Amino acid sequence: METFSYVKAPSIDKALASASQAKFIAGGTTLVDLMKLSVEKPKTLVDINLLPLDKIEKLPDGGLRIGAMVRNSDLAWNADVQKSYAVLSEAILSGASPQLRNMATTGGNLLQRTRCAYFREPTAGMPGGYGCNKRAPGTGCAALEGFNRTHAILGTSEHCIATHPSDMCVAMAALEAVIHVEGPKGKRTIAIADFHTLPGDTPNIENALEAGDLITYVDLPKPVEGAKSTYLKLRDRASYEFALSSAAIVARVEGGHIRYIRVAMGGVGTKPWRSREAEAALLGKPATAATFKAAAEAALSKAKPQKDNAFKVELAKRCLVRSLKTATS
C-alpha cells in the first residue's frame, strides 16, 4: 500500500470541494483491498461516512429513494424493499458475507470493480507480470489466453472480458433504478442501463461518472402493480461467492400471459446485463416452459464464450428458465 492522506468530509459541499484529486471512501470493502494490492493508488481519501446520505425514504410518486451511504444490510432488510422490491433484497443477501454487507454501501456497491484475478495482480504490466488493459491501459489482457472460467460471455471486447461482479446492480437493472450524482458540473441523474459502460477499447473506463462526481441517491421507480420478482444466483459455493450466472426478473402475468417483464443477468456480462432480447421474446406470450426456453435462447444468442467458460452459456439459459418459472408461477 502506498502512502495517502485522509480527510473526513462533514458535508456534501466539503466532500465535493476536496474531491478533484481524491477518492471517496464509503465502506472501504473494495477500495482498501485494491489499495493493499496497489491496484488503486489514491493520493487522498475523502471519507464520506458523515454525509447525510444514509436514509431510505418513500418518494411522493410511490418510488423509493436510497441514500448512497445506506449499508447493504439495511437496504436488504428494509420493510419497503422486502415488500415491494424483493428482487433487490434477495440479490443483496446473496452477496458477500454479513460482515461485508454491514459495511458495504449502496454507492460503493455500484462502483465495485471486477474480480478478474489478472486485474488484481500487482505485477501487471511489469516484465514477467500479467498484462491488464483495465488496470494499465495498453498492456494487453492476460485473461484472453489465461484461465478465464469465471469471465464474461456477453459484452466482451478484444481488450477485456472481465465480468461485472455486483448482485445488487443486476436487481437494480431489472428495477430500472436511477442514480443521482453531484459533481463539479452540478447535479444530474443517470439511468442504471447507462451507468456502467462496455469495455470496448477503453476497459479502464467503467461507468458514466466524471472526476469528482459523488453518488448521492439511487431512486427506484414505483413498484409495478401486480408484479412478482425473484433473484436466482448460481455459484461454486452456497455462500460468500460471486455469481457464475444470476438472473433478476420482474414479471406480471395476467390470464396466463406475460404483460410486464424485465430481465437482467449477472455473472455473464461485462456490465449488469439487461436482456432486451429475452424481454422481447416474453412480452405478451403465454407463461410456459416453451416461452421461457425461447427467451433464454434469445438472451444468449450473442454469447461469445472463451476457452474455459463455454459452460456458462447453458448455465445462464437454465438460470433464466428457472427464475422465469419462479417469477411467473
Ligand X SMILES: Cc1cc2nc3c(=O)[nH]c(=O)nc-3n(C[C@H](O)[C@H](O)[C@H](O)COP(=O)(O)OP(=O)(O)OC[C@H]3O[C@@H](n4cnc5c(N)ncnc54)[C@H](O)[C@@H]3O)c2cc1C
320 binds, among ligand SF4, ligand X, none (CB under 5 to 8 A by kind): none
100 binds, among ligand SF4, ligand X, none (CB under 5 to 8 A by kind): ligand X
Q: Which is nearer to ligand X, 44 or 157 (CB)?
A: 44
For 265, the grid coordinates are 443477468
Q: Which residues of this chain interact with ligand X, rule CB under 6 A? A: 23-31, 33, 48, 68, 72, 95-96, 100, 103-105, 107-109, 111-112, 165-168, 214-215, 242
Distance of CA 138 to the CA centre of its chain: 25
Q: Which is nearer to ligand X, 33 or 80 (CB)?
A: 33
For 123, the grid coordinates are 505485477
167 binds, among ligand SF4, ligand X, none (CB under 5 to 8 A by kind): ligand X
Residue 128 buriedness (CB in 10 A; 0-12 / 13-18 / 19+): exposed
215 binds, among ligand X, ligand SF4, none (CB under 5 to 8 A by kind): ligand X
119 binds, among ligand X, ligand SF4, none (CB under 5 to 8 A by kind): ligand SF4
Element housing 143 (H / E): helix 142-145
How far is 63 from 223, CA to CA, in rounded Å?
7
Q: Which is nearer to ligand X, 80 or 241 (CB)?
A: 241
Q: Which is nearer to ligand SF4, 162 or 287 (CB)?
A: 162
**Which phi-psi region, left, alpha or beta, contains residue 256 (left: φ > 0; alpha: ψ -120 to 50)?**
left
For 262, the grid coordinates are 424485465
CB of residue 107 to ligand SF4, shortest distance in Å: 22
Q: In terms of DSSP bridges, do strands 44-47 and 5-8 run parallel, antiparallel, or are they unpaired?
A: parallel
- The secondary structure of the chain in percent helix, strand, coil, rounded to multiples of 5, reads 30, 25, 50
> Do 267 and 234 meet the contact criterion of CB atoms below 8 Å apart?
yes
CB of residue 111 to ligand X, shortest distance in Å: 3
Q: Which is nearer to ligand SF4, 73 or 112 (CB)?
A: 112
Q: Which residues of this chain interact with ligand SF4, rule CB under 6 A? A: 114, 116, 118-119, 132-134, 141-143, 160-162, 203
Backbone angles phi, psi at 285, to 5 degrees: -90, 160
CB of residue 85 to ligand SF4, shortest distance in Å: 31
Instruction: To the nearest 10°, report the CA torsion of 317, 178, 30, 76.
Output: -70
CB of residue 266 to ligand SF4, shortest distance in Å: 16
CB of residue 22 to ligand X, shortest distance in Å: 9
142 binds, among ligand X, ligand SF4, none (CB under 5 to 8 A by kind): ligand SF4
Residue 221 buriedness (CB in 10 A; 0-12 / 13-18 / 19+): middle
